[in-house]
Structure 1
């Protein structure tokens, strides 16, 4: 599927293309690449469209024939469009430091002058949201695929407040800015997913709302956003307060970060 297709003689030139329902075929071809010769042919169907609704329908139709990646299936949910619209609307109401972007489709903003650090695809957005609002930083650290298995009903559902997804993306973006800028000790970078959960409890409060309570979630998230609205030096000071929770943890291995036990240790330390 491509936004622009041009046929020249026996060649087809495509721009901004994606393969839909071709993962298994690609895998088998690669696995047997030494056995292939010019006599091997693969049937393909090329669809040219810039209409994202048509793309959604094609994805749904092909999924009835074979399974596709979980995160791609979330992308066709109607609610996901609402999340993207919220990102654009909320960010435009604030200054540029609040702009983060959600790409429902691969490389959706590739032609725009937007730093990659500000953009989140649906897989990344699921990870930051799960780490912050589902208290699952251990899954975001290593077993991201299990997020979909364990929390399918908790991701991108129409009864949720869109601001939760925006907040988790904004905080992650700001965390990466201050780490990349050397404003925080690099040894704490390994806690980036756990920090999302810590920031939530530290600045939003230990009494957390149900993610389906849109009014309460709105007020709760605004408190967190306010702490990440100042310049880099102030945000860094706020995060330095948050990372103090890790000081009593002692020597923490990367394998520890992948466990529910370590997540619970953090919550116990914070009195949650």
Structure 2
């Protein structure tokens, strides 16, 4: 049976947007399914190619491990996220996709066996990708002191997605087996068909739109950067109208995580404050909520008003994450709860960002979100997106800035990614770049993204990172070398300049380093050769140590002593150093 024609059209659009990825149609459908579910159904903002398992892993096509909404594909990334803040919420999303016209009992059974295996004895799953993910998995569980991570399993097809009685019984049996592990907060096993994938893909690529009834509103004073703004209160059902997505195949509506700045992933159901608020509401004290709660602030790119009905487009709930989550648990009482609301319409991204910071001062806001406001970041975004062909990089200063399907997903880079690669390339800290998020941020906060810095150098470093990941996905270099990524980027710069001050070096020096690095990065064969040379040297040093497992090796090369040993032995005086 031919693939559903609408899914086929969406798949073709997805393929055109990612022309550098050498995948078969079935591989592309696997990645597109992950993208549709993660960014559409679950409202995340992730690169689906990093979730996809490239190879012939038993029964599973993708594994997304998320901490506070940040995708973690290895122990370094998980540790980096876990080092900042507290009350971390983790989740596991498992994927299997088939271009078939119906759900297959055997394939689903195989998929759920693979899921169970990932969390138990690993008799079915193996390989570098799986080992890296196991490292991230263990980090998540080690931090799950207050709440267990959730597990969601998605089996996707291009057919109807209709679940037979036999498959329902199979899912129930596997659900019970997974539940018996006693390690998950909740477990969901969902089968998705062509119509579900279609709708999820549309949601993933369209800006958010909602219509709310807001009769109790007062117009706020005029401001140069604001088209219109209102303050007042609404029925909590209107908050949920903005916060919940469309009904899925089972009639459920999930929270659209992408519309939250201080994201819904940060909601902690076990906090004493949240439990107290929920307890009061469940006890029947509904009328007091509007007096005790600070309410929510919504910023929209455009507001269209017709009477008391406000249609908002491309909006975010920039303050009110906890409130919205609590209300979502009381949907049956929504009509009896009032919520304070500020609704602001502005198309000025910098002013919107200032509103976000102002309304979140009492909360822990990530430093890289503040960095997005810096004048340099705006210049860098323009410079990187204006490069031609293979040199183009997209700097995502605002969450979900690039939702359009025509955008090549793997070229999108967040400020936090730039911080890591800058630590390796500019400050010569490859051993800390991947994991020491808090330390790097604190030490170099006043030395990064400065107005007088060179956009060319930052673009160079970002491109080196993108091309490294691309060569891994394209199987031009062994995935086992991925662990060396930041050492590779460090060595690219270090061989042309021997000091961690390239950002402040003379113009001619900066131009020379930029030219040398770009000549290597833009020549795939040359870059592959360089990566293999550096990796071989790292392997030689590791082989003389007691590190044997992948995690032991990862920990070993993150030490200061290894960095010193690598630098002194690889950059022989007068041979490689500039």
Query: In which range does the TM-score fall when normalised by the shorter chain?
Result: 0.7 to 0.9
Seen in structure 2, the aligned counterparts of structure 1 residues 264 and 12 have a Cα distance that, compared at 3 Å, is farther
The answer to whether 1:98 aligns with 2:391 is: yes
Seen in structure 2, the aligned counterparts of structure 1 residues 195 and 6 have a Cα distance that, compared at 3 Å, is farther
Matched residue, 1:149: 442
Distance apart, 1:63 and its partner CA? 5.3
- Give the distance between the partners of 2:427 and 2:534, measured in 1 at CA: 19
Residue of 214, 234, 237 corresponding to 2:529: 237
- Give the distance between the partners of 1:25 and 1:154, measured in 2 at CA: 37
Per-residue CA distance 1:46-87 (angstroms, 9 max, x = gap): 323222232233235335565522111111111221222222
Matched residue, 1:126: 419
Distance apart, 1:193 and its partner CA? 2.2
Matched residue, 1:171: 464
Q: Scaled by the length of structure 1, what TM-score is found?
A: 0.81
Residue of 278, 300, 306 corresponding to 1:2: 300
Matched residue, 1:20: 318
> Aligned to 2:300, what secondary structure does the other structure show?
coil
Per-residue CA distance 1:92-120 (angstroms, 9 max, x = gap): 4xxx1111121222222322622121111
Conservation of the 8 A alpha-carbon contact between 2:428 and 2:500: no
Matched residue, 1:57: 354
Conservation of the 8 A alpha-carbon contact between 2:300 and 2:313: yes
Stretch moving more, 41-50 or 120-129: 41-50
More strand by share: 2
Q: Scaled by the length of structure 2, what TM-score is found?
A: 0.41
Per-residue CA distance 1:203-255 (angstroms, 9 max, x = gap): x343565312361223312210111122x334322322232321222235222
Seen in structure 2, the aligned counterparts of structure 1 residues 7 and 138 have a Cα distance that, compared at 3 Å, is farther
Conservation of the 8 A alpha-carbon contact between 1:128 and 1:169: yes
The answer to whether 1:266 aligns with 2:558 is: no
Conservation of the 8 A alpha-carbon contact between 2:300 and 2:314: yes
- Give the distance between the partners of 1:166 and 1:61, measured in 2 at CA: 30
- Give the distance between the partners of 2:500 and 2:525, measured in 1 at CA: 27
Matched residue, 1:195: 488
More helix by share: 1
Matched residue, 1:253: 553
Seen in structure 2, the aligned counterparts of structure 1 residues 235 and 78 have a Cα distance that, compared at 3 Å, is same
Unaligned runs of 5+ in 2: 1-298, 572-576
Distance apart, 1:2 and its partner CA? 2.6
> Aligned to 1:46, what secondary structure does the other structure show?
strand
- Give the distance between the partners of 2:499 and 2:364, measured in 1 at CA: 39
Distance apart, 1:14 and its partner CA? 4.5
> Aligned to 2:554, what secondary structure does the other structure show?
coil
- Give the distance between the partners of 1:83 and 1:269, measured in 2 at CA: 35
If asked which structure has higher relative contact order (CA below 8 Å, sep 6+), I would say 1
Seen in structure 2, the aligned counterparts of structure 1 residues 19 and 178 have a Cα distance that, compared at 3 Å, is same
Seen in structure 2, the aligned counterparts of structure 1 residues 67 and 115 have a Cα distance that, compared at 3 Å, is same
Seen in structure 2, the aligned counterparts of structure 1 residues 60 and 213 have a Cα distance that, compared at 3 Å, is farther
Per-residue CA distance 1:145-179 (angstroms, 9 max, x = gap): 33221211121111322222111100011101111
